[in-house]
Structure 1
Amino acid sequence: MEHQKEALRRIISTLASKNEELHHFLESVDNTVAGLQSPVGICSDSFWREGMLFCPVRSCWSSQIKHCPLPTKKNFSRYDIRLQKIPGSPEIDTSRCAVRDNAITVAWQPIGETAEDGGPIERYELEYRKTNCDNPLRVTGACWEKICDIRNTEVTISGLKFDTLFVVVRVRARNKAAAGEFSEPVAMETRAFNFGFDAATAHAELKVQGDTITWEPQGVKGHEARLRSKDNKSSRGSTPSPHKTAESRVRRERFAGESYTVLGDQDMNKGCYYWELRPLDDWKSLSVGVAYRGNLGRFDQLGKSAGSWCLFASQWLQSSLAAKHNNRAKALDWQLPRRIGIYCDYDHGDLLFVDVDRLCLLHSFKTKFVQPLVPAFTVWCGSITIATGLQVPSFMGTFLETHRTPSQ
């Protein structure tokens, strides 16, 4: 009972406070109206002299606005009133539009700026959205992204991830009056290589989270015990028995033993592909490359079979960089890259590894691919992240011209 009384007292106190605030507000309104009465009288006299009837504003709450007669034609003719037209729709110039290096450039014809066209154009507004439909008029559901305050008849949108087949764009003009209608939408093709990690193939000690892989040892408190023992173990000695237990039969596609590997979930069987890898701060050893999915055993490490090609990097004990294939390694005299670009031309048998930040070619393989490939990754101690949905960058053209000779 006391609790209810206390609650009731709080409600009464709140209402009293609100009532007092309302009274203060009404007083301020009355003061404002009183202050406006004097200027209103002056304006009223001025309008009467111009032959226009002024309707006085009454301060009482129940005042009504009187209907004012229209000014005569004689008096109205001295006022020049013009209604500005809404600008027309721009027309996108597809011949000047381009898609390059994960950026799209959209250009359009300028709108006329005569009085009949709506007067000067202040700015343009562009909207775009991603879709897998090549008919821009049938695109539904996706939200439009907006770019405002465009002063020219061309704009470039950069840093896009091309995870759909097309990007639909439209543009409209805006003057002082309002914005006009949008142009006819145009679909721009944005094909790129999109893939993710195939978690079903990941080693049990690799944690897949979106575009990131992290090595998380099981049954070891911290990494120190594993790091101390790695130098004293051979790959064969640390590999579990191939005799399948109940758990291994369920996870027969997972890599095991010392092969801390995970594969991509999309095949490469024709054309050109490009993606990037970035090691995170805590990494110790990694490999990145391609492999035949069917020819890579559960205990096989990248680069140690005829069906896998990779770039190996390590900063455990000492820094090293090497290209590996068919159980052969070639040491590379380069600094460890912070961002690795991987380019694969399946039809021509080219596999290139590029230091993206320094724009230098780390290594290239020349071969003939005879089976579908998948991206392949190995991580030991640390994490890596990948970037997909990337077009083949324009700088790859320079490397392809000078490095299409067998290097291994």
Structure 2
Amino acid sequence: MAAPLSSVGRLCSLTGRTFAPVLAAHSWRSVCPAARRSYITASTGSNVQFKLDERTAHSSLDLFKKDTGIIYRMLGLDPSQVQDNPERFRDWAVVFGDQKVSGGRHYWEVTVKKSLEFRLGAAEALMSRDDCVGTNASSWVFGFAQRKWFAMTNNKAVPVALVGKPDRVGILLDYEAGLLGLVDVEKPRIIHSFRAKFHAPLCPAFGLWDGELLTHCDVEEPAGLH
């Protein structure tokens, strides 16, 4: 992203605590050793079939519909009452999918009509749980806040030209091609994309600060996307 997007730099209140603006830089702390991670086998074939991983879910997020949907609870649970494990995001309302991708081309969709602030994309499976998706070089997301879309990685955002707010969008991940795209499912077409060299397994990644999201990984990639 070229420059910080001021429209998404408002304060977030998570589990009753007030944090710095979402775009603010965050210091890196040590990531738990890989030996303590226990993800399901990596997907290298066609569409990754995932559910949301409760082990990673911040205490303000509830999963529903057989772990394919997320609801944001403004107060959420007291973090001390949530099972502690090295997978969980402690400060940011983030959750990962329970599959990791290390190759292939994958497509999923997300119903976004019931949220006004969210982030969708992919992140390295071993990304620091002290960071929010989009604030480091290990995550690539498309977000919506203050009625505007943006693309964000490495703590920088660029506006995404998208008329209105669709009820549902698609995410296209081509690991070998280094492509992550936001898809207009009505056209269909890629609205905006990241180009990067992926060096580590990736997980579907979601941030939510309002309402709810519903994921759909049992859908086919629309024809003609590049």
Normalised to the residue count of structure 2, the TM-score between the two structures is 0.72
For the pair 1:304 / 2:135, whether they are aligned, the reply is yes
For the pair 1:377 / 2:211, whether they are aligned, the reply is no
Structure 2: distance between partners of 1:287 and 1:246: 25
For the pair 1:347 / 2:176, whether they are aligned, the reply is yes
Q: CA deviation at 1:334?
A: 1.3
Q: CA deviation at 1:389?
A: 2.1
Q: CA deviation at 1:219?
A: 6.4
Structure 2: distance between partners of 1:252 and 1:385: 25
Query: 2:70–2:214: 8 Å Cα contact kept in structure 1?
Result: yes
Query: 2:47–2:108: 8 Å Cα contact kept in structure 1?
Result: no
User: Residues 101-128 of structure 1, C-alpha deviation per residue, up to 9 Å, x if partnerless?
Assistant: xxxxxxxxxxxxxxxxxxxxxxxxxxxx
Aligned residues: 179
Q: Which has the higher contact order (CA 8 A, sep 6+)?
A: 2
- Based on CA coordinates, which of the two structures has the bigger radius of gyration? 1
2:124 corresponds in structure 1 to 292
1:29 corresponds in structure 2 to none
Aligned residue for 2:208, secondary structure, equals strand
1:87 corresponds in structure 2 to none
Q: CA deviation at 1:248?
A: 7.4
**Structure-to-structure mapping, 1:84-163, within 5 angstroms:** none
2:42 corresponds in structure 1 to none
Letter in structure 2 aligned against 1:330: V
Structure 2: distance between partners of 1:219 and 1:307: 26
1:389 corresponds in structure 2 to 218
Query: 1:193–1:390: 8 Å Cα contact kept in structure 2?
Result: no
Query: Using a 3 Å threshold, how does the CA distance of structure 1 residues 328 and 312 change in structure 2: closer, same or farther?
Result: same
Aligned residue for 1:250, secondary structure, equals coil
Query: 1:338–1:355: 8 Å Cα contact kept in structure 2?
Result: no
Structure 1: distance between partners of 2:162 and 2:123: 24
Structure 2: distance between partners of 1:313 and 1:256: 22
Letter in structure 2 aligned against 1:328: K
> Larger helix proportion, structure 1 or 2?
1
Aligned residue for 2:55, secondary structure, equals helix
Structure 2: distance between partners of 1:392 and 1:218: 37
Query: 2:59–2:76: 8 Å Cα contact kept in structure 1?
Result: no
CA RMSD of aligned residues (A): 2.4
Unaligned runs of 5+ in 1: 1-189, 221-244, 401-408
Unaligned runs of 5+ in 2: 1-44
Structure 1: distance between partners of 2:54 and 2:182: 24
Q: CA deviation at 1:323?
A: 0.3
For the pair 1:215 / 2:46, whether they are aligned, the reply is no
> Larger strand proportion, structure 1 or 2?
2
